[in-house]
Structure 1
Amino acid sequence: MAAGWPVSEDLPVIDRIQRLTLDELPDCLALAQDREWLPEQHKWRLLFDVGSVYGLRNEVGDLVGTTILTRYGAQLAAISMVLVAAHYGGRGLGRQLMQHALAEAGDATVFLNATEQGRPLYEKLGFVSVGTTYTHVGRFAPPAGPAGSRPAVPGDLPAILKLDTEINGADRSHLVQRLPGFAEQLRVVERGGVVSGYAGAWRNIDNVLIGPVLAETVNDAKTLIADLAGTISGPVRFDLDDRHPQLREWATQHAVPVRNSTAVMVHGAQPLPGDRGRWFIPVMQALG
């Protein structure tokens, strides 16, 4: 990143969108901070690992815009981290980056989580709101009783991969296989000796995120969340899907109230694949 960030708004932008590499992570973190986002290095590293990170630079090499496309086979793709430097707002760079990501996604169903600030652009590009993600943050007060789940072991991975593909309706193996190294904890629940749900917890800058959470029932989701969050002394975060109001009420009862929300949007109003009734919390909003 050139000295003197944020950069001058008078410098033109190089038109060609480029694929970024992990070596350019510091530039991405600086751009995030320019937009008052946290410099979430652990999160960005995973996104670089599983997705395609695209960027725009000005003529002196400053990164002035990013977006990330994460593909799950040919059926499903997520767009995230749509960032434009504050001094470059209003020039259509966000639209340019989004159009590039959509073109790269091909015929896949494309989804994203939209803030109120970004939603008008996404609507103009053909995205339609299909739900809401409610972000709950607090210090979890665990219920009494023994754990109903167990730590995942390497031998569980095939069952977890099978379950994840079934529930998401797409092959996310390149993401799921990285979760043991990314998350602090992974746990599973079983029915009849078969893995029927799994969940993870990973540490961000200011809290520990519980996610993903995929399970057969709401009660199994509660079990997984409680067993993970109950071991964490600081604040935890749950990004809860609006299809499960009972789970949101339960989170609030256990001292994790709602903080904000984002719109779940899908391009062209296509239905999301899979069984969303068993889908409770994403790995992160950037990935689903």
Structure 2
Amino acid sequence: MATLPDNRLQLRAMTAEDIAAVQALSKAEQWPHRQQDLAGMLELGTGTVAVMGGEIVASAMWWPCGERYATLGSVIVARTCRGAGLGRIITETVLDQIGDRNVLLNATDEGLPLYRKLGFNGVAEILQHQGAAFQVPLLPLDAGERIRPLGVADEQRVTELVEQATGLERDAVMEAVFGKGLGIVLDHDGAITGVAVFRRFGRGYVIGPVVAPDLHRAKALIAQWLGARSGEFTRLDIPGDVGLGDWLENLGLVRVGRVVTMVRGTAPVGHGSSRSFAIVSQSLG
């Protein structure tokens, strides 16, 4: 673990009582997290805060994805405390907690140099699209295919589908997503081959995860939500290589940001016939 740069600085576990202060750090970065969003994230994982003079000046969280992987996020250092190595210290502290797991994170351009020094390598990119004014035609499906509401009996199969698409164990994350959102599934003669979940997040709503067998069916799932919630401020975080960007732009969901997906260790590999077209969130992956 790194040495603290100031003997007035303390690192300790994040608690529910810290959420308001962490949300203030997030807001200063113009990140959209509500306190409810951060509280839900903390319930799924472990947080660390840095405190100086009784004030929280930095934060970081991580979430286990089984025994082999973890995701790291919400790494924030107050602007008044930058330049003293605090970002590295709190990140190294969290990495010590994670242990031998392979670690994934989505890095802003500002964070890239630090994460590279800590052994992370860029492997992909995530593009953030959002908007509130859009017109969406519904897309046709093949015979035997239909989009229907996700039911309780579907949850285990959907969790397996998401895990196959991402290569990550997602049981706890998906349980939380089911509890907070509404889902639709792509049903092909009784077999579930795709899913899209719509839930409250940040300034409005987010669609994610989205898993589908191909681009056309991913669009069909997304269009179902956009058509049903036209006028609602909606966000998607999509892998840069899935081919959704131009379509979303044409619908009115413009690209507003980009982060780099980085891995320390071995990147997870999806398997099965479906892939991920939108992630749960930039922090959770």
TM-score between both structures, scaled by the size of structure 2: 0.89
Other structure's SS at 1:189 match: strand
Alignment of 1:175-254 (within 5 A): 175-183=173-181, 185-232=182-229, 233-245=231-243, 247-254=244-251
Amino acid at match of 2:91: M
Aligned equivalent of 1:106: 99
Which of the numbers 43, 47, 53 marks the counterpart of 2:47?
53
Contact 1:13 1:56 in 2 (8 A): no
Contact 2:71 2:105 in 1 (8 A): yes
* Residues in 1 aligned to 2:219 and 2:29: alpha-carbon distance in whole angstroms: 35
> Compared with structure 1, are the counterparts of its residues 81 and 13 closer, same or farther at alpha carbon in structure 2 (3 Å cutoff)?
farther
Aligned equivalent of 1:6: none
Aligned equivalent of 1:7: none
Contact 1:110 1:267 in 2 (8 A): yes
1:130 matches 2:123: yes
* Residues in 2 aligned to 1:39 and 1:250: alpha-carbon distance in whole angstroms: 26
1:167 matches 2:161: no
Alignment of 1:269-280 (within 5 A): 270-275=266-271, 278-280=275-277
Instruction: Give 1:52 shift.
Output: 0.6
Cα deviation 1:143-164 (Å, max 9, x = unaligned) = 1467941111111111112212
Instruction: Give 1:89 shift.
Output: 0.7
* Residues in 1 aligned to 2:271 and 2:196: alpha-carbon distance in whole angstroms: 16
* Residues in 2 aligned to 1:144 and 1:27: alpha-carbon distance in whole angstroms: 42
Instruction: Give 1:207 shift.
Output: 2.9
Bigger mean CA offset, 112-121 vs 135-144 = 135-144
**Stretches of structure 1 lacking an aligned partner (at least 5 in a row):** 1-10
Amino acid at match of 2:56: L
TM-score between both structures, scaled by the size of structure 1: 0.88
Contact 2:71 2:283 in 1 (8 A): yes
* Residues in 1 aligned to 2:98 and 2:139: alpha-carbon distance in whole angstroms: 46
* Residues in 1 aligned to 2:72 and 2:16: alpha-carbon distance in whole angstroms: 18
* Residues in 2 aligned to 1:33 and 1:128: alpha-carbon distance in whole angstroms: 27
Amino acid at match of 1:126: G
Amino acid at match of 2:116: E
> Compared with structure 1, are the counterparts of its residues 44 and 161 closer, same or farther at alpha carbon in structure 2 (3 Å cutoff)?
same
Q: How many residues align?
A: 273
Contact 2:194 2:213 in 1 (8 A): yes
* Residues in 2 aligned to 1:101 and 1:214: alpha-carbon distance in whole angstroms: 30
Between the aligned residues of both structures, percent identity stands at 28
Amino acid at match of 1:238: L
The root-mean-square deviation of aligned C-alpha atoms, in Å, is 2.0
* Residues in 2 aligned to 1:75 and 1:273: alpha-carbon distance in whole angstroms: 12
Other structure's SS at 1:178 match: helix
Contact 1:212 1:283 in 2 (8 A): yes
Instruction: Give 1:282 shift.
Output: 0.7
> Compared with structure 1, are the counterparts of its residues 51 and 140 closer, same or farther at alpha carbon in structure 2 (3 Å cutoff)?
farther
Aligned equivalent of 2:3: none
